[in-house]
């Protein structure tokens, strides 16, 4: 098991370094001058552009820039000289001249919003998807199975932005159950009720689509597991259907769900752009979208690398969890 963990961690670190360098290389070969973008789209002052180029290190070779970036993640980084010096503490993802702030500060302001969105939606869609999937499998061919099939078809057909807009139109505008999104985020421990009012509709929007996919997956997995020999053996021993479902069927059927949930959760942490845009949430998705519109290269690079890092780390976590859930993985390792 130790060898398996060490090997997986080493592979994850190598992939993370390769991906981060690839992102740096891609933006380095794009046909625009990153230094010219630091003073605005209409800026054409060569003096300002050259000063920003030197201040941000764009005059250095790409390899040197990347090594300085890695160093900044662990030790912080200083931009500029003399009175114009700006220090961004570790972990430093760079400095944004569009926002006039360290990129890490912008990310740390947006990250709690996306975390709240992703965690709440994950809980909802796992509970709903697993519950409906198991019910549909147990009631195969009956009304419950038909109802879950209709739910799956609707959930997989409706785009996320359309689901969000429908919730806004009916829940907020027509029925006035909740206030219209203000674009401000209230932390959980500052005002729990306001936090819940802000996040409940985005949670439902994301959970609706994902729960439909999970319902279909869980239904198929449970039906397949119920036909296995060890389930027939458990029934022959006289175990009740509830015990068979809880101790045998779900453990075998839901093990692959760990991988799905981990990767889907990682994808949301990278930024649920459409949902954040519909509900005006200042999360990582809206931060990334705004950076693309404003050509804010440091934030674009940082959010791209961060999203890749989240996926790689969650892959590692899922592999470790799967090794504990399924002993065959540990034996094979």
Nearest to 224 by CA among 308, 155, 140, 123: 140
Alpha carbons 169 and 180: distance in angstroms, whole number: 10
pLDDT grade for 210, boundaries at 50, 70 and 90: very high
Stated as kind and residue range, the H or E segment containing 104 is helix 103-138
Note the pLDDT tens digit of each residue in 64-91. 989 999 999 999 999 877 777 889 999 9
Instruction: Using CB atoms within 10 Å of the CB of residue 148, give its burial: 0 to 12 exposed, 13 to 18 middle, 19+ buried.
Output: buried
Beta bridge partners of 106: none
- Record the tokens describing residue 70, joined without a space: 């890695």
Class of the domain covering 110-292: mainly alpha
Instruction: Using CB atoms within 10 Å of the CB of residue 283, give its burial: 0 to 12 exposed, 13 to 18 middle, 19+ buried.
Output: buried
% pLDDT > 70, the chain: 96
Note the pLDDT tens digit of each residue in 106-135. 999 999 999 999 999 999 999 999 999 999
Cα diameter, the chain: 84
Domains of the chain by residue range: 110-292
Task: Tell which phi-psi region holds residue 79, choosing left (phi > 0), alpha (psi between -120 and 50) or beta.
Answer: beta
Q: Is the pLDDT of residue 324 over 80?
A: no
């Amino acid at each position: 098991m130790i060898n398996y963990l060490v090997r997986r961690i080493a592979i994850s670190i190598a992939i993370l370094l390769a991906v981060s360098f690839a992102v740096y290389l891609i933006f380095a070969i794009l046909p625009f001058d990153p230094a010219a973008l630091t003073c605005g789209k209409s800026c054409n002052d060569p003096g300002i552009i050259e000063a920003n180029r030197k201040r941000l290190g764009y005059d250095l070779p790409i390899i040197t820039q990347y090594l300085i970036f890695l160093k900044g993640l662990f030790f912080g980084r200083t931009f500029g000289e003399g009175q114009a010096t700006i220090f961004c503490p570790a972990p430093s993802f760079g400095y944004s001249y569009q926002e006039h702030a360290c990129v890490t500060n912008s990310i740390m302001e947006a990250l709690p919003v996306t975390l709240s969105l992703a965690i709440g939606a994950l809980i909802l869609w796992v509970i709903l998807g697993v519950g409906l999937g198991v019910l549909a499998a147990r009631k195969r061919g009956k009304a419950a199975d038909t109802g879950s099939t209709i739910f799956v078809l609707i959930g997989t057909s409706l785009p996320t932005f359309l689901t969000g807009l429908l919730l806004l139109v009916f829940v907020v505008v027509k029925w006035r159950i909740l206030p219209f999104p203000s674009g401000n985020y209230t932390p959980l421990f500052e005002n729990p009720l306001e936090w819940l009012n802000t996040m409940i509709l985005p949670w439902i929007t994301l959970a609706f689509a994902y729960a439909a996919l999970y319902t279909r997956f869980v239904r198929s997995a449970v039906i397949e597991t119920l036909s296995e020999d060890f389930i027939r053996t458990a029934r022959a021993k006289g175990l009740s259907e509830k015990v068979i479902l809880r101790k045998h069927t779900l453990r075998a059927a839901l093990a692959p769900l760990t991988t799905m949930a981990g990767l889907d959760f990682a994808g949301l942490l990278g930024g649920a752009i459409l949902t954040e845009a519909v509900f005006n949430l200042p999360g990582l998705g809206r931060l990334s979208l705004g950076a693309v519109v404003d050509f804010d290269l440091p934030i674009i690079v940082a959010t791209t690398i961060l999203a890749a890092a989240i996926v790689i780390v969650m892959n590692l976590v899922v592999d470790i969890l799967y090794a504990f859930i399924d002993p065959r993985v540990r034996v094979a390792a």
